[in-house]
Structure 1
């Protein structure tokens, strides 16, 4: 379903609410770049298949603790606000919207989801395969480590809008400085762009404490020590600390420790003294551990991350880019790609941009190329071709879930060939890194065409953008070629390339079809 057919955000929110069990079943409401992320009390109350068919819903990811509805960039923020308002108000407006939608069916497309036509069965079968694959991967990946990675992702996802906004402003400011335009304005733009990054440790501390069950302001208070200028007067391990040493990793560790100290205090401190002793001991003990240990250790880890990224891409850029671009789609499929945000943020803190994001973004290019090949190869399956057409625009902007879960992953082979496209695109950008031209991004979140405003490197903007565009083209072309040549077995084409039943007007000659006794869709060219 195209996002152009989506209802108003308030109407869409009202349609979603009863399909996830109503307001009483919703524990938490949040969103990232593309997904409405819900915490549900009873997962079994959600009606997945009905939710997937809503106009405006691009996909569904029920993995880990969060129930995630893919809505796309821009839309998700507006729908989340309306949805949260409905939940707070008890969701009284939700039921009628769903009933109205059920009465409409898919009238906008001229048929209902259950009218039994061949092309609709193909689309439903593909969606069912995607749902089964998501469920199996959820069971296979419900490990403690991956649960921890998702929780870390939950800490950083709310920071992405600020990272994007400040990153674009920083890029605009750099352009104005290079062009020597508006010299009286550029210092103000620099302050606006840098203010958030200077205090990002505090926000990481707040979110860490909230995620792990502590008091957010106490987590923020301990994390603020990391960026406080006065730490320069402290000697630890025979050397003076530097403000910001350890960065977001130090802030995350400090706030996580504060949560544990706070929970210990809640258990052992008498209730009459809790309001005084618990916050004091939490900040004091965690703060001492931060300045005399965590900042030093996290600083060493942060430095190692930056050096490793530069050394890897400088010495083996093409191979590293090939591996990173090829393996990123499975991480997106599992929802674990958000766990890389701390690494990206560390590189941005150290170097002003992350050299990993443009390489990883090539996975989306391979996905787009593969989807185009599916569109060409399944030329007789109008239903799947409509799905590809509606999912391509968000795919070009870096929103890959609709193509992954709605097209390539259920088909099997096209998902693998999409990874091949991402690998070659990543290898292209990695090669230029190895040759001495770094291609980076000043913020995280967008990819695809949406990453152009955030590009930055050690050379001019035009050269950096040209290399990134070349990587996208390589990813598109390789993903298309690999999928067209190797993405379909004879059996797969026979199964999915069925001719829709022609609508023949009275008196009109029908179009040529398969010969008597020939299997529908068996002819392969």
Structure 2
């Protein structure tokens, strides 16, 4: 059934407590990200029952409503219109004066409630300064993902045309269109960094622009001439962050009459000099080390590295620690044109899909849970795994672990080919699963990259399915006679 963006936005707004409770609205490739004044006003059951909502992820005072690719952009536009220009009564009118209600006794509903409880407990245990810092890193880079995806796909298509010798009059234009954003990505990182940390965004962009300015070749730092782009996104982030702190320091000390002139001047001057004579050199060395380490890791221990990365990525997502990888992916894409880590990590989703299918087959009498799996599987195949994680595998327990086993097997498969000289990378971050196919790149050409990545997905599906089917469900989970708790929804004893 096709989701109506206006109705979905109105129902979501009602579920999160109305316009007065919304402090910020943004979206990434699959999620509507909301900042809330009072999270206690959220009716999570109502949110989950909204047609088109695939899942809800709680992150501190922020709520992430998983809607899926394409749908999220349309719903976000309608949601922003409701928040910005209409009263709460408008929202209630569009949903008939009430929010959708979830069935209270279904197996799927109970599993979703268990998943929500697990998420909340995990959130409380992990509300640390490190987690807050990772959230801020995500806020800087997530808004850039749509441009990374679009430019990545164009770069891949252009590469095919160049290799085939087709349309030689068009490929230079496509190169410019696909490469311009990556050439200036430092400016966007600087803009978002200043915005996230409370500075003036354009000043953050101005300071970060120094990193990519061609004229830096005339500047010598530590006895070595600088090069445009040295330090990349890491240098831009550090430069903008330093500029933000300098700006705040100036605002508190410069008289108001002179603030408009001196604060931006001192911010750009001081942060700019520090960037040229320190940050670019340090960030450049760090960026080079990241690229060298990633290549060495796959070339020498590819199968083992893939097994570890593919097996641990689902727990990283659950803990929110996967956000720390975003600047690493961006650095690799900027340096090498693709990130070799993302295809390995994407195998975790394949293990999750295989585990979900096994649960579907084993629990053939549980129509409610099977309905949930059927609705969530298409999103899972496209790399949106939250509905399956929080609605199926994590509440059941063992299927989450066997999904990790499937992810480890798929990662080992892709990593093995990297050891054999055929590493597979992704030209953009964000998509995974089947959605990553158009973004693949590799040393062996597109056909080899597609075959290796597809083989990894198939391995993850099969191993995740077999592991879950064999040991991923208790006798009570399958509704065996004498278990004492139908469908394994009571307290776990294993």
Q: TM-score, normalised by structure 1?
A: 0.90
Q: Is the 8 A contact 2:92 2:98 kept in 1?
A: no
Aligned in 2, Cα 1:283/1:466: closer, same or farther, shift over 3 Å?
A: same
Aligned in 2, Cα 1:492/1:307: closer, same or farther, shift over 3 Å?
A: same
Choose from 122, 126, 146 the match for 1:137.
122
- Find the residue that maps to 1:37 and give its secondary structure: strand
Cα distance between partner residues in 2 of 1:156 and 1:77 = 17
Residue in 2 aligned with 1:508? none
Residue in 2 aligned with 1:442? 427
Cα distance between partner residues in 2 of 1:189 and 1:156 = 24
Aligned in 2, Cα 1:518/1:71: closer, same or farther, shift over 3 Å?
A: closer
Choose from 23, 36, 39 the match for 1:40.
36
Query: Is 1:76 aligned with 2:76?
Result: no
Choose from 300, 324, 332 the match for 1:347.
332
Q: Is the 8 A contact 2:310 2:347 kept in 1?
A: yes
Give the superposed CA RMSD: 1.7
Q: Is the 8 A contact 1:63 1:334 kept in 2?
A: no
- Find the residue that maps to 1:359 and give its secondary structure: helix
Q: Is the 8 A contact 2:476 2:486 kept in 1?
A: no
Q: Is the 8 A contact 2:139 2:196 kept in 1?
A: yes
Residue in 2 aligned with 1:58? 54
Structure 1 unaligned spans of 5+: 106-111, 498-513
Choose from 29, 34, 39 the match for 2:25.
29
1:123: how far off?
Answer: 1.5
Residue in 2 aligned with 1:433? 418
Residue in 2 aligned with 1:331? 316
1:520: how far off?
Answer: 7.8
Query: Is 1:16 aligned with 2:12?
Result: yes
Pairing 1:354-369 to 2, within 5 Å after superposition: 354-369=339-354
Choose from 440, 462, 466 the match for 1:477.
462
- Find the residue that maps to 1:268 and give its secondary structure: coil
Q: Tell me the alpha carbon deviations over residues 108-136 of structure 1, each in whole angstroms, 9 at most, x when there is no partner.
A: xxxx724x5xxx2x122101100100001
Cα distance between partner residues in 2 of 1:518 and 1:251 = 59
- Find the residue that maps to 2:252 and give its secondary structure: helix
Pairing 1:234-273 to 2, within 5 Å after superposition: 234-273=219-258
Cα distance between partner residues in 1 of 2:35 and 2:319 = 18
Pairing 1:90-489 to 2, within 5 Å after superposition: 90-92=86-88, 93-99=90-96, 102=99, 113-114=103-104, 116=105, 120=106, 122-489=107-474
1:338: how far off?
Answer: 3.0
1:333: how far off?
Answer: 1.9
Cα distance between partner residues in 1 of 2:93 and 2:324 = 39
- Find the residue that maps to 2:478 and give its secondary structure: helix
Cα distance between partner residues in 2 of 1:91 and 1:331 = 39
Aligned in 2, Cα 1:139/1:483: closer, same or farther, shift over 3 Å?
A: same
Q: Rg larger in 1 or in 2?
A: 1
Structure 2 unaligned spans of 5+: 489-494
Instruction: Name the stretch that deviates more: 437-446 or 336-345.
Output: 336-345
1:464: how far off?
Answer: 1.1
Cα distance between partner residues in 2 of 1:38 and 1:335 = 16
Q: Is the 8 A contact 1:63 1:134 kept in 2?
A: no
Count residues in correspondence: 487
Q: Is the 8 A contact 1:245 1:298 kept in 2?
A: yes
- Find the residue that maps to 2:56 and give its secondary structure: strand
Q: Tell me the alpha carbon deviations over residues 308-365 of structure 1, each in whole angstroms, 9 at most, x when there is no partner.
A: 0001111000000000000101122233323311111111111111100100000000
Q: Is the 8 A contact 1:61 1:68 kept in 2?
A: yes
- Find the residue that maps to 1:67 and give its secondary structure: strand
Q: Is the 8 A contact 2:156 2:441 kept in 1?
A: yes
1:465: how far off?
Answer: 0.6
1:96: how far off?
Answer: 1.6
Cα distance between partner residues in 1 of 2:487 and 2:450 = 45
1:303: how far off?
Answer: 0.3
Cα distance between partner residues in 2 of 1:518 and 1:354 = 48
Cα distance between partner residues in 2 of 1:212 and 1:458 = 39
Cα distance between partner residues in 2 of 1:363 and 1:300 = 31
Query: Is 1:87 aligned with 2:72?
Result: no
Q: Tell me the alpha carbon deviations over residues 10-41 of structure 1, each in whole angstroms, 9 at most, x when there is no partner.
A: 11101111211111111110001111001111
1:492: how far off?
Answer: 2.8
Cα distance between partner residues in 2 of 1:518 and 1:306 = 53
Residue in 2 aligned with 1:510? none
